[in-house]
Amino acid sequence: MRQSKVYLTEEDQSLLLHVLFQQKYASEVLACELADIESGLKAADAAHYTRVTDLFHRLRDADQ
């Protein structure tokens, strides 16, 4: 599947983040990222993996 780059303005980025958080999808996106890294579908260095894991846990804990 070919991925194309999409340019998002700062307003677009802000709106997207707002919707992701409002719908509680942000932690789901992070969970998918972690699953892809852990299963070897996506390469990531240790720093990226740690940052994603930490953010996932912070969002999950905030939802409880």
Which tens digit of pLDDT belongs to each residue from 11-59? 999 999 999 989 989 999 999 999 999 999 999 999 999 999 999 999 9
pLDDT at 2: 67
Better-predicted residue by pLDDT, 63 or 38: 38
pLDDT of residue 20: 92
Say what the alpha-carbon torsion angle 44, 57, 14, 17 is, to the nearest 10 degrees: 90
In the prediction, which pLDDT does 1 show?
56
In this predicted structure, the answer to whether residue 4 has a pLDDT above a threshold of 60 is yes
Q: Which residues contact 60 (CB under 8 A, 6 or more apart)?
A: 27
CA–CA dist 5, 22 (Å, integer): 25
What is the token pair recorded at 43?
């390469």
CA distances for 59 relative to 11, 24, 64, angstroms: 23, 9, 9
The residue extents of the domains of the chain are: 24-63
The yes-or-no verdict on residue 63 having pLDDT over 90 is: no
